[in-house]
A and B are shown apart, each in its own frame.
Chain A
Amino acid sequence: MKELTGTGKLIRLILRRDRWLMPLWVLFLGLVPISYVATINELFPTAAGRQEYAGASAHNAGFVALYGPLSGSSLGELVAWRAGFLPVMIGLFSILTVIRHTRTEEEAGRRELLGATVTGRHAGLAAALITTLAANAVLGAILAAGMIGQGLPTAGSWALGAGFASTGWVFAATAAVAAQLTSGAGSARGIAITILGTAYALRVAGDISDLSASGTLSWLSWLSPIGWAHRMYPYGQDEWWPLALAVGVIVVLTTAAVALSARRDIGAGLLPPRLGPATAAPGLRSPLALAWRLHRGLLAGWTAGFVALAVVMGYLAAGIGDLVRDNKEMMDIFARLGGVEGLIDNYLAGTLGLFGLVASAYAIQATLRLREEETSGRAEPVLGTAIGRIRWAGSHLAFSLLGPAVVLAAAGLAMGLTHGLNTGDVGREVPRVLAGAMVQLPAVWVLAAITVLLFGALPRLAAIGWGPLVICLLFGLVGTAMGLDQRVLDISPFTHLPRLPGGEFGVAPLVWLVAIAAGVTAAGLTTLRRRDLPTT
């Protein structure tokens, strides 16, 4: 118990520091699904209408990839299914919170400051975990209570809330382990988010395979904590036992995190530090070379993640056609979308659109490295040499702007290649899919540019750069379902992109978006030139 002394104080400290952020996340993620009830009720007021919609959606691979499997057509099931992407966001929230209050604190040396006061060895870890677990429990409770308030069945509402909360718990525990492995918060975050991405990819692969007649890969979903939440089938079978899987994993991971943390020194990771070269390579002589050293790990990680996801999604594409080919009724519905061919193109374009959104996360993360360099004091010695601000910023922006291009190109190639190998026409599919991936770039740049402008004009608020991405993500995932006005949807740069392959290609919107991105970036750099540096 001595090891946990001071946990209560640390919890209070976390709550104090997160008094805005945490309630916002919890309320947002808890209330979004509740808002679906009214929308879906409005769109499909009759049981027959819901059944038709559910029938078509349950076999739409793009939908299944995003939201998960759909088992029935009751109002509750449709709402729960539509909210199926949120567990990923909840997982992300949990990871970021746990890492922020464990490894980030340690890296900054603040953990040491507190560690010297009356706090036990494990108090920091325990406080971060308890707070995050509690936040997820509150989220689940808000969700369940809200659903019950909307007149949905009680048991299903609690199953939905518990499923969502448990996903948060699993990834909080995952992050707790990741935080013990490396001495840098960035790489710990990277490890945990990679696991989250893998869990999502496994769930998608399993669920889509489940759609096809053979379903040989459907067991993959059972490897994913996100899949477990879906397999509770709230408002349907209301299965509670997948929750036991989640709880088991949480116990194992938490024990592992505690054991690892007991074994290492404060500030250290598990992997011992290695020695580096005594002199710099001849090429290490410019801010760009420095930026390459600082960004290459991030770039490699994102590229690997994208390629892995693209291979899975590309592999599944050809199977989409089989789903409907032997189903006469389905064939008729999808004939409107351009037959099987159109269906596959639609799936590819939808997936690539999602890739574009995710690539924006990379672009924003890479842009925010500028701010990190500034606040950590590492920008200061560089700017104290003959390197001007614009060159310094430009060297990082090279990675936040061209990095996403590399990542999207790799994903487009991988996806086109696997799909082409399946259909036996690599020469046709690769350029089509690659083009679909590359058209995302202008929209990605617009979001990166907004972050650059924030960094230049309001450096303390640079992290707000994530805001526009969240809005775009919301619009992309639920915009049409929520019945938002087209003028509102037009705010998102992604709304203006041509849907490739299959859709109409127009140069004009791309040129516009590139021009906007260039203008906003230039404005950001101009403000950077005028302001004080470094600011804390």
Chain B
Amino acid sequence: MTDAISAAGLVKTFGPTRALDGLDLAVQTGEVHGFLGPNGAGKSTTIRVLLGMMRVDAGTARLLGGDPWADATALHRRLAYVPGDVTLWPNLSGGEVIDLLGRMRGGLDKRRRADLLERFDLDPRKKGRAYSKGNRQKVALVAALASDVELLLLDEPTSGLDPLMEEAFRECIREERRRGDRTVLLSSHILSEVEALCDRLTIIRDGRAVETGTLADLRHLTRTSIQAELAAPANGLAALPGVHDLLAENGTVRFDVETAALDPVLRELAAAGVRSLVSRPPTLEELFLRHYDRTGAAGEKEPEVSR
């Protein structure tokens, strides 16, 4: 399958800030790709580069087979974009904005527009300033989702949506996914959203991709927490690869173990004699937080970050 988006070694600096620092990103056609990272990691900057609004200092990017900078106008016919921070014109109604953006993109589906307005419970007659933040976001979402395009670039599209609307949004994206020919790049801070919607995801940090893969791949990178009461001390445990934060007292051990290292660790425990065992399954949340946490990462840098 060809890639809808492929970027390699993107570098973008703003004065002393290196917003992108050798970013690689590959999004396959037809998939919903999650794009995560802490504040200031460079998500919005990447999306702006892909939209041809910013020029990179180094690296190459391809979008739908074209050059995002040179072929911007032609490419934009085939994609729709929802900015992270939607501002509307004070004297235009939401309905006017939806129609205008759709027409400038090359037309929009009237029936789908009506359907989306209903699902998002949006009054299209209000003027720009009268909308709340979530409703402004919905205007941009309806404008993007109602047009028949190959690629959706969504920059934190659900920020400000209430849980009901968040669910409506998820349902829309699931429909897109079922169609199979639409590609979605979805930047988000909400892990449950990404887990619910995305086929694959990329986590970036300080302008660089630190993880990328399917959800299953990434779960593989997560750690299981284990607490065990042992008959005899398991002295070999500390030496095993993949064991972290080991704590042993009064015959009880507590530690986190990487999924890949589970097998030898269990064997070691069994050898010592297990009296009781509690294990907490791996969550993406934990992986996610590990990448978000600035203080943690400095001391505990992943040896192998991307695969």
Question: What is the interface of chain A, defined by CB distance below 8 A to chain B?
Answer: 183-184, 267, 273-281, 284-287, 289-290, 293-294, 297, 376-378, 380-388, 530, 532-534
Contacts and interface: CB of A to CB of B under 8 A. Distances in A.
B177 interface: no
B81 interface: yes
Interface of B: 51, 53-55, 72-74, 76-77, 79-81, 83, 85-96, 98-101, 103-106, 124-127, 129-130, 140, 143, 153
Contact of B96 (A273, A277, A382, A532): A277
21 contacts: A183-B129, A273-B126, A273-B127, A274-B127, A276-B94, A276-B126, A277-B96, A279-B124, A285-B104, A290-B100, A294-B89, A380-B53, A383-B53, A383-B76, A384-B53, A384-B79, A384-B153, A386-B76, A530-B55, A532-B53, A534-B53
Given A277-B125, A376-B87, A385-B104, 10 more contacts: A274-B127, A276-B96, A276-B127, A278-B124, A279-B124, A285-B100, A290-B100, A378-B89, A381-B143, A383-B53
Contacts of A290: 89, 92, 100
5 nearest interchain CB pairs? A276-B93, A280-B99, A384-B81, A285-B103, A385-B104
Contact of A277 (B77, B81, B93): B93
Main SS of chain A's interface residues? loop
B89 A386 contact: no
Contact of A378 (B88, B103, B124): B88
Nearest to B75: A386
B76 to A, nearest CB: 5
Contact of A388 (B54, B73, B95, B126): B73
Contact of B83 (A281, A297, A381, A388): A381
Contact of B93 (A275, A377, A532, A534): A275
Given A277-B93, A377-B85, A386 B99 contact: no
Contacts of B77: 386
B15 to A, nearest CB: 12
Nearest to A290: B100
B85 to A, nearest CB: 6
A187 to B, nearest CB: 9
A294 to B, nearest CB: 7
B89 A381 contact: no
A278 B126 CA distance: 8
Contacts of A274: 127
Contacts of A285: 99-100, 103-104
Contacts of A289: 100
B126 A275 contact: yes
B184 to A, nearest CB: 15
A65 B127 CA distance: 43
A54 B127 CA distance: 57
Nearest to B81: A384
Contacts of A297: 91
Contacts of A387: 73, 76, 104
Contact of A384 (B76, B93, B99, B124): B76
B154 to A, nearest CB: 11
B93 A381 contact: no
Contacts of B99: 279-280, 284-285
B267 to A, nearest CB: 55
B87 A377 contact: yes
Contact of B73 (A386, A532, A534): A386
Query: Which residue among A276, A284, A380, A530 has the maximum number of chain B CB atoms within 10 Å of its CB?
Result: A276
A382 B124 CA distance: 19
B125 A278 contact: yes
Contacts of A294: 89, 91
Contacts of B106: 385-386
B47 to A, nearest CB: 10
B76 A277 contact: no
B155 to A, nearest CB: 10
Most central of B79, B130, B143 by chain A CB within 10 Å? B130
A293 B93 CA distance: 12
B81 A381 contact: yes
Contacts of B88: 378
B23 to A, nearest CB: 16
Contacts of A267: 129
Contacts of A386: 73-74, 76-77, 104-106
A376 B96 CA distance: 19
Contacts of B91: 293-294, 297
Nearest to B79: A384
A384 B130 CA distance: 24
A293 B95 contact: no
A377 to B, nearest CB: 4
Contact of B101 (A275, A376, A385): A385
B107 to A, nearest CB: 9
Contact of A273 (B85, B95, B130): B130
Nearest to A284: B100
Contacts of A533: 53-54
